[in-house]
Amino acid sequence: MIKRIFMASALMMSSFLVQSCSDGFTTLAPQSERNVENFYRTAGDIEIAVSGIYDALQSGGTYGTTDAVATGGTNGYWLMTEMRSDNTDQGGDVTGLAFSIAVVNVFAEDALNEFVLGAWVGSYSGIARANIVLTRIVDIDMDQSLKDQFTGEALFLRSLFYYNLALLFGNIPMPLTETVSVSAQLEQVPAATVFTQLIADLQEAAGKLPDGHPSTVGGRATKGAAQTLLARVYLTVGDKVNAATALRAVMGSGAYQLVPNYADLWGQANELNSESILEVQFRGGGLGEGSGYANAFTPDASLVGGQPAGGRNRPTVDLITSYEPGDLRFEVSMDTTFLDPTSGARQRYVRKYFSVPFGENDADNNFIVFRYADVLLMLAEAIGEGGEAYDLINQVRSRAGLADIGSSTPGTFEDKLLQERRIELAFENHRWYDLLRFGKALEVMQAHSSGATLDTFVDATFPPPSANQLLYPIPQREVDLGLTQNPGY
């Protein structure tokens, strides 16, 4: 029931908006005269439009995954974050379409890369939908509490897209209202300006969003989701005091708790559990709303009912050897024992999103964006080394079957915390952003590039990344239309 109600509206809005939103940043969804006259008049219209924003989270350029090049390239955030980091690589296939993925893995992409473009387009499509809602809802006569909720959802979702864009691309256009002219000129603003806006927007969203939703309408943004993203933005800009305040509010709400077993976080039966703060909803079964993670990440068709398998986002040897002996998260997160039926070689792959889909790229598995363990670890980061911080970290370690750590454990507090985040949140699109936030991206990736054995590009190491490569290139077609390219591209 949860997914059926949510997806019905999403399907309607997806078909309504796709033509105006799929052409990329340069259109940013100016609406036709017919749409302006006949839609955005009632609370029901706005509800469908808000569902359309959620639908943009499923895009292959954002939290979805598929190799269909529908909007200039797909495979978005997981490629741009997990595979960019030392957590995963492309796998052995670097031919054809896979080549454009593999170059992102080794910092060799250029401004023409279709997957970089896909992340840009997918994100701005969601932003365009949010801006329509935020512009149109002001003049609609409707119940105030419902208006607040829809406004809060649109603000939160727009903030989530902008958070990803600012960290991936740096200086970006930041339209905050509906774009009604194809000739509109949008100014690029620094990432710092984006984060300042997000703090204001997320504070407003948290004030408008409910603590929860009815059990029949799961997966929508809540006050806790807005406060969690707000805390992440505060940490990104170095404001640990306000980050701690936001995180304590999430904890104090009583709405979330760790599930007892790490394995109980994953799979359709465990969706929207007590630890979940925000999940991107997918539903298989031929509705066009299914997830492609199982097909994309598993290395052989025999694992997914004979359907195509990509073997992408493969755990690195570096990550595998980073787990402590006895860590219960290891076998839940990945499989390193599968024997290739042709070569007999062992294959490794991500298990968190494993299932046998209804069809190709048509699984039920949701994608968890935020969960309570992340809140505990972020609060430890915000308050800094001390007894309370280690207590928070050790709550997470205890569930994994590991002994407590403390100030006497070797290593700096930051290194220990970053390691715990790496293992607990592996394959959940956090690692690259964590490395950036902790100021460790260059150090870690330069060491990884020289020390890791990669199957990409003739099983060789790759040149260490430079400071300029901490940002992705602005897609060339946007530069051709007047945007300023990032240094080094």
For residues 476 and 463, give the distance between their C-alpha atoms in angstroms, rounded to a whole number: 23
For residues 306 and 308, give the distance between their C-alpha atoms in angstroms, rounded to a whole number: 7
Other CB atoms within a 10 A radius of the CB of residue 468 amount to 12
pLDDT over 70 at 15, yes or no: no
Does residue 190 sit in helix, strand or coil? coil
User: Counting Cβ atoms within 10 Å, is residue 406 exposed (0-12), middle (13-18) or buried (19+)?
Assistant: middle
* Rounded (5°) CA angle 391-397-398: 85
* Rounded (5°) CA angle 431-175-73: 50
Q: What DSSP letter does each residue of 371-403 carry, written as one string?
A: EHHHHHHHHHHHH-SSHHHHHHHHHHHHHTT--
pLDDT over 90 at 442, yes or no: yes
- In this prediction, residue 406 carries a pLDDT of 98
User: Counting Cβ atoms within 10 Å, is residue 69 exposed (0-12), middle (13-18) or buried (19+)?
Assistant: middle
- Fold type of domain 2-285+367-454: 1.25.40
- In this prediction, residue 182 carries a pLDDT of 62
- What is the mean pLDDT of the segment spanning 459-471? 79
The amino acid sitting at 379 is L
Q: Report yes or no: 373 and 396 within 8 Å, Cβ to Cβ.
A: yes
DSSP 138: G
Does residue 61 sit in helix, strand or coil? coil
Residue 437 tokens read as: 């936030």
Q: Report yes or no: 264 and 399 within 8 Å, Cβ to Cβ.
A: no
Q: What DSSP letter does each residue of 109-125 carry, written as one string?
A: --TT-HHHHHHHHHHHH
Q: Report yes or no: 268 and 261 within 8 Å, Cβ to Cβ.
A: no
Q: Report yes or no: 296 and 313 within 8 Å, Cβ to Cβ.
A: yes
Other CB atoms within a 10 A radius of the CB of residue 141 amount to 8
For residues 123 and 56, give the distance between their C-alpha atoms in angstroms, rounded to a whole number: 8
Q: What are the domain boundaries of the chain? A: 2-285+367-454, 293-350
Across all residues in the chain, what is the average pLDDT?
88
* Rounded (5°) CA angle 430-432-437: 90
Instruction: Provide the residue count of the chain.
Output: 489
Q: Report pLDDT digits (tens) over 150-173.
A: 999 999 999 999 999 999 999 999
Residue 276 tokens read as: 């979940």
- In this prediction, residue 97 carries a pLDDT of 75
For residues 352 and 121, give the distance between their C-alpha atoms in angstroms, rounded to a whole number: 27
The amino acid sitting at 51 is S
Lowest mean pLDDT among 28-37, 322-331, 411-420, 448-457: 28-37
Place of tokens 């009604």: 180
Higher pLDDT, 22 or 68: 68
Q: Return the percent helix, strand and coil in the chain, to nearest 5.
A: 50, 5, 45
For residues 191 and 479, give the distance between their C-alpha atoms in angstroms, rounded to a whole number: 18
Does residue 310 sit in helix, strand or coil? coil
pLDDT over 70 at 180, yes or no: yes
- In this prediction, residue 344 carries a pLDDT of 85
Q: Report pLDDT digits (tens) over 31-86.
A: 443 355 678 889 999 999 999 999 999 988 999 876 443 333 357 899 999 999 99
Give percent of the chain with pLDDT exceeding 90.
73
69: Cβ contacts below 8 Å, ≥ 6 apart: 97, 114, 118
* Rounded (5°) CA angle 146-1-145: 5
pLDDT over 60 at 130, yes or no: yes
DSSP 172: E
- What is the mean pLDDT of the segment spanning 191-201? 98
Q: Report yes or no: 218 and 204 within 8 Å, Cβ to Cβ.
A: no
Indicate the pTM of the whole model.
0.91
Higher pLDDT, 450 or 207: 207
User: Counting Cβ atoms within 10 Å, is residue 29 exposed (0-12), middle (13-18) or buried (19+)?
Assistant: buried
- In this prediction, residue 213 carries a pLDDT of 80
- What is the mean pLDDT of the segment spanning 439-462? 70
Nearest to 384 by CA among 246, 251, 244: 244
Q: Report yes or no: 417 and 378 within 8 Å, Cβ to Cβ.
A: no
Q: Report pLDDT digits (tens) over 230-280.
A: 999 999 999 999 999 999 999 999 999 999 999 999 999 999 999 999 999
pLDDT over 70 at 390, yes or no: yes
pLDDT over 90 at 462, yes or no: no
For residues 23 and 30, give the distance between their C-alpha atoms in angstroms, rounded to a whole number: 11
Q: What DSSP letter does each residue of 269-292 carry, written as one string?
A: GGTT-TTEEEEE--B-SSSSB-B-
- What is the mean pLDDT of the segment spanning 375-401? 98
For residues 413 and 191, give the distance between their C-alpha atoms in angstroms, rounded to a whole number: 27
144: enclosing H helix or E strand: helix 144-169
pLDDT over 50 at 476, yes or no: yes
For residues 373 and 380, give the distance between their C-alpha atoms in angstroms, rounded to a whole number: 11
